[in-house]
A and B are shown apart, each in its own frame.
Chain A
Amino acid sequence: MIGISMFFTALLLLLIGFPVAFTFAAVAVLFGMIAGIVEIYSYGGFDAGLISGLMEGLDEGVAMFGYMPYRIFAIQQNTILMAIPMFIFMGIVLQKTGLAEKLLESMGFLFGEIRGGIAISTVLVGSLLAASTGVVGASVVAMGVISLPVMMKYKYSTELATGTICASGTLGQIIPPSIVLIILGDVFQVPVGDLFKAAVWPGLTLVAAYIIYILIVSYLKKDVAPAIPADPSRGSKKKQVYKALIDIIPSLTLIILVLGSIFGGVATPTESSAVGSIGAVGLALMYNTFSIDMIKTAAQESVKITSMVFAILIGATAFSMVFSYTGGEEIVTEFMNNLPGDNKTSFILFTMLAILILGFFIDFVEISYIIVPIIVPIAAALGINPVWFAILIAMNLQTSFLTPPFGFSLFYLKGVAPPSVSTMQIYRGVIPFIIIQIVVLGILAFYPEFFGIDSMI
């Protein structure tokens, strides 16, 4: 029972708003001590007296944390996770080169003349950025600054515009390379390269689904996304296509460097992140945006984001250590095995629903490090293919970036949108995209063969 009450205590304490990493760590300390006291009590350690029993119990609790240094040392040596800071670094450098903005501009003008055109080019640029980096914040902000004003100027509905930006900006989490997939690869102990490969089709399906949705909506409702008049000053159509192609080159270069070096056998996924980082710096040099200052800020920013992730990992390690030593895992396993109906289907439905709901409140890093490790052995016992299950979770977690009230994507967009755009408009705007994601998630869950993935081992 300690494990379960520990879990709910953590959820409650998180609401206070103190950093998540330390909240989990503190709950671990508290319940580690309680578990120590309970253990000593159950062995009759209180027979000698209350105080000596308590002291012995606290000793037992403290002793449990003696495992922590070894767990942390194992994290230090985890070369798979080393990819995280380097992919973040690469994303930040790319963002600082301003190449994304150029691409967004030229694509926007290229497709602007069809209804919904700017929204579609936002999705396309979003997926290119996703395949070259995958830093959510940067993509959303870039598109919020560049394409939102354009869409608003040409009388696109605010809901469609904001929804498109938020959804396209989060594509980086499912389209490889992706931090979520790296973390899940670590938690599931499956090759990150396999996850990257398996995520390509589901990711592209999502892109296609977004575009089809935009086409349909702008066709059905005339004033949602009107066509914009051709701008002769931009040159002939041919010239525009040419310019767009030129502007795609930098992102394509990075995609080839990163995914090419993984699938071409030059580098492991971790190493490809260094190749990509150097490539991004090379692009900055080529496009004359390089400066020592840029490297400095990029390094500082990636250290911050990385430490944020690893602080949570260390907090989560302490938490799950106490959780598992107090028998919490057994209770969850028993619960999962007693779900009604066919075990595999009910397990998938239940875990997907639980992750979706938790995603409304907590971050993907916490979910990946606290919740997922508990369900991994159960999935393995049911014979579920870990690659498929990891992709399902990744897709599900991607949705959490969009779900109000705490979707990261929404925060980022709100931060750059003009004051006339209300939070409610953004919330309403992302709803259709959330539905699309859940539909694609459903297809992946029940018709995995459509994506060429086996659901069982």
Chain B
Amino acid sequence: RVYTWKLATTWGPTLSPFIDAPHQMAKMVEEMSDGRLVIRIDASNKHKAALGVFDMVKGGQYDMAHSASYYWKGKDINTLPFTTMPFGMTTPEQYAWFYEGGGMELMQKAYAPHKILSFPGGNTGNQMGGWFRKEINSLEDLKGLKMRIPGFAGEVMAKLGVAVTNIPSGELYTSLERGVLDALEWVGPGMDVNMGFHKVAPFYYTGWHEPATELQYLVNERKFDRLPKDLQVILKTAMKLSAYDMYIKNYAMSAEALSEMDTKYPNIKVMTFPKPVMDAMKKANSELIAEITKENPLLKEVIDSQTAFQKKARAWTIMSDYNYLKDNLQ
């Protein structure tokens, strides 16, 4: 028999490369299963509930979704660390954690109470720290700064005195242009240039808060269990492959956009936060993590596992990539 599934995305129909991952996955599934599993994709313009996809998969209105785990922090704090954490692992380190360091098992454990299965869904790589209208030279410059920066990173910023502001994404550009916002963070060159932020906020700071943003496939567990074994394997394989492909595609897009940026928009100034600012962020981050893990044993287990793995993996990253890059900058 033919299984017809529905997948809801948090993204709009044109948000490339995010939206490309589920489309590619669905295409692979249909071909590999010889048409026995067909997945129809509804982007957020169709289901109209971008952040309702978790509940819709849980409630069975959709069989699966493509989104990001940290959006569900308010529903279940244990789902927070599976996207990325400030000052956390890089993409290769994090993939190693997921597939070889026990990350996948912990993720299923976190989602089990919701009868949902969760799988990696593509990575944006290191995200940029955001577009600022003014240069940040000291901690003082952050005080009262009006910035759109959602989620856990926003909490870190708030601790440093930033006035974290919620603005609907359609109004972001004009808000930044007119000074309703002083700064905002989005993704990285590949996606940011499309939004035009460089035209109004020329200071582009490097990242610290989302070193390896992993998107996520959500699957309704009951629906998954009803699939024959071979279709389950096909689905899992296609999800894994599409996630890796998105990472590659995003990498290429960012490289392309960056070279375009250098020639087309020479006014953009790429900056890094000064050391005292970075140190204060790190400190605020550790304090916040200590606070949220105190009453959540599973969250503590996950973050401890990440920290331990990061320590080992980072040693190797430094030994290999860091030294290689350091010695071959020209």
* A/B: CB atoms within 8 Å of each other: yes
For the complex of A and B, the 7 pairs showing the least CB-CB separation, nearest first, are A265-B178, A70-B52, A265-B179, A70-B49, A191-B174, A74-B49, A71-B48
A/B interface sample: 10 pairs, CB < 8 A: A63-B61, A66-B60, A67-B47, A190-B170, A191-B171, A191-B173, A264-B178, A267-B180, A268-B171, A268-B174
Q: Is the CB of B171 within 8 A of A70?
A: no
Cα of A80 to Cα of B170 in the assembled complex, Å: 9
Count residues of A near B (Cβ-Cβ below 8 Å).
Answer: 28
Q: Is the CB of A79 within 8 A of B174?
A: no
Cα of A267 to Cα of B49 in the assembled complex, Å: 26
Cα of A190 to Cα of B178 in the assembled complex, Å: 16
Pick the most buried of A67, A73, A189, A317: most chain B CB atoms within 10 A of its CB.
Answer: A67
Where the two chains meet, the residues of B that have a C-beta atom closer than 8 Å to any C-beta of A are 12-13, 45-52, 55-56, 59-61, 166-168, 170-171, 173-175, 177-180
Given contacts A63-B61, A67-B56, A74-B52, contact A189 B47 (CB under 8 A): no
Given contacts A66-B61, A265-B179, contact A189 B49 (CB under 8 A): no
- Closest CB in chain A relative to B279 CB, distance in Å: 32
Where the two chains meet, the residues of A that have a C-beta atom closer than 8 Å to any C-beta of B are 63, 66-67, 70-71, 73-74, 78-80, 185, 189-194, 262-269, 317, 324, 377
Q: Residue of B at shortest CB range from A188?
A: B170
Q: Which residues of B contact A70 (CB under 8 A)?
A: 47-49, 52, 55-56, 61
Q: Which residues of B contact A71 (CB under 8 A)?
A: 47-49, 52
Q: Which residues of A contact B49 (CB under 8 A)?
A: 67, 70-71, 73-74
Pick the most buried of A66, A185, A191: most chain B CB atoms within 10 A of its CB.
Answer: A191
Cα of A371 to Cα of B50 in the assembled complex, Å: 22
Q: Is the CB of A317 within 8 A of B61?
A: no
Q: Which residues of A contact B61 (CB under 8 A)?
A: 63, 66-67, 70
Q: Which residues of A contact B55 (CB under 8 A)?
A: 70
What is the predominant secondary structure among interface residues of chain B facing chain A?
helix
Cα of A73 to Cα of B59 in the assembled complex, Å: 15
Given contacts A70-B56, A265-B178, A265-B179, contact A79 B168 (CB under 8 A): yes
Cα of A317 to Cα of B47 in the assembled complex, Å: 10
Cα of A73 to Cα of B51 in the assembled complex, Å: 10
Q: Is the CB of A191 within 8 A of B52?
A: no
Given contacts A67-B47, A71-B48, A79-B168, contact A194 B56 (CB under 8 A): no
Q: Is the CB of B52 within 8 A of A268?
A: no
Q: Residue of A at shortest CB range from B48?
A: A71
Given contacts A66-B61, A70-B52, A74-B52, contact A265 B168 (CB under 8 A): no
Q: Which residues of A contact B46 (CB under 8 A)?
A: 324
Cα of A267 to Cα of B167 in the assembled complex, Å: 11
Q: Which residues of B contact A264 (CB under 8 A)?
A: 178
Q: Which residues of B contact A268 (CB under 8 A)?
A: 167, 171, 174-175, 180
Cα of A416 to Cα of B48 in the assembled complex, Å: 42
Q: Is the CB of B174 within 8 A of A193?
A: yes
- Closest CB in chain A relative to B319 CB, distance in Å: 47
- Closest CB in chain B relative to A424 CB, distance in Å: 44
Q: Is the CB of B56 within 8 A of A189?
A: no
Q: Which residues of B contact A317 (CB under 8 A)?
A: 48
B59's partner among A66, A190, A265, A324 (CB-CB below 8 A) is: A66
- Closest CB in chain A relative to B272 CB, distance in Å: 28
Cα of A189 to Cα of B172 in the assembled complex, Å: 12
Q: Residue of A at shortest CB range from B173?
A: A191
- Closest CB in chain B relative to A8 CB, distance in Å: 23
